Amino acid sequence: MPRRARIIAAGYPMHVILRGIDRAAVFFEDDDRQFFLDHLAAVAAEESVAVHAYVLMTNHLHLLMTAARDDDVLAVMKRVGQRYVQHVNRTYGRTGGLFEGRFRSSLIEADTYLLACQRYIELNPVRASMVSVPGDYRWSSHRANALGRQDSVVTPHPLYHGLADSDQARFAAYRKLFEDMLSAESLQRFRECTNGGFVLGSPKFERQIAAMLGRRTWKQKTAENGDTAENGDRPLFSA
């Protein structure tokens, strides 16, 4: 069965997950992580892609990006992935692939979910019990977004800028968002949409993107008999 095409639309944030093959480690030393981030910053700038949030875990990574053109995120992932695999193979005397062949992604409705998605990404090390607070983890965008640390990878989204009028007030407002953990329902929604390649947003937003692309952008509901409704629970292309 052919793979379903990714949902991509220029100007809309996109949450990306890239995992190691069989969930094996992809980052081995701090130099590896720094190599990846250096090349991510350079390639994203060349491809006109803004990276709003990221985290590098041991066997996978998360990115939240907005591209100026439809294919720019694909170009970033391909170029950075190829350079990084070459680095790892050269450094550790290995051959072959490192990542799953296909990254997972979800288009995000910014007004409702962008800052929540940044929290989801930057709280990964806390959920994994690697640190007690996100600011203790070096390899994420949290220190840039919450503390103002210089980070060549991060380009803040306008909604982030809208948190406050000054830098210090903005950092404080962003840190306050992290006082509460995301709900189990929110975690499930992020995972379901990204792993399934669906839009994360309101039904209205789902229909808007469906009308742009000419295809369904949400997960179909499963009927009691195990079948799926042809158009899920939302009519295609309605207002």
Q: Is residue 228 part of a domain?
A: no
Q: Is residue 223 part of a domain?
A: no
Is the separation of the CB atoms in 192 and 198 below 8 Å?
Answer: yes
Q: Is residue 231 part of a domain?
A: no
3-class DSSP state of 213: helix
So what's the pLDDT on residue 5?
78
- 109 vs 4, 158, 176, CA distance in Å? 21, 13, 22
pLDDT at 149 over 90: yes
**Mind listing the pLDDT tens digit for each residue in 105-130?**
999 999 999 999 999 999 999 999 99
pLDDT mean over 218-231: 52
Q: How far is CA 11 from the centre of its chain?
A: 15
Exposed, middle or buried: residue 190 (CB in 10 Å: 0-12, 13-18, 19+)? Answer: buried
For the entire predicted model, the pTM comes to: 0.90
Domain that holds residue 17: 13-213
pLDDT at 223 over 60: no
Q: Is residue 21 part of a domain?
A: yes
pLDDT at 80 over 80: yes
Q: How confident is the model at residue 3 (pLDDT cuts 50, 70, 90)?
A: low
Q: Is residue 57 part of a domain?
A: yes
Q: Is residue 183 part of a domain?
A: yes
3-class DSSP state of 51: strand
Q: Is residue 221 part of a domain?
A: no
d(CA 32, CA 22): 19
Residue with tokens 């991060």: 154
pLDDT at 217 over 90: no
d(CA 146, CA 96): 38
Nearest CA to 118 among 174, 180, 167, 176? 174
C-alpha count within 13 angstroms, C-beta hemisphere, residue 83:
18
Q: What is the mean pLDDT of the chain?
A: 90
Q: How far apart are the first and last CA of the chain?
A: 32
How many domains would you assign to the chain?
1
d(CA 132, CA 201): 30
pLDDT mean over 145-159: 97
d(CA 7, CA 64): 14
CATH of the domain at 101: 3.30.70.1290
Q: Is residue 239 part of a domain?
A: no
H helix or E strand, kind and range, residue 33:
helix 30-46
Q: How confident is the model at residue 232 (pLDDT cuts 50, 70, 90)?
A: very low
- 23 vs 26, 62, 79, 121, CA distance in Å? 9, 14, 21, 18
Q: How confident is the model at residue 6 (pLDDT cuts 50, 70, 90)?
A: confident
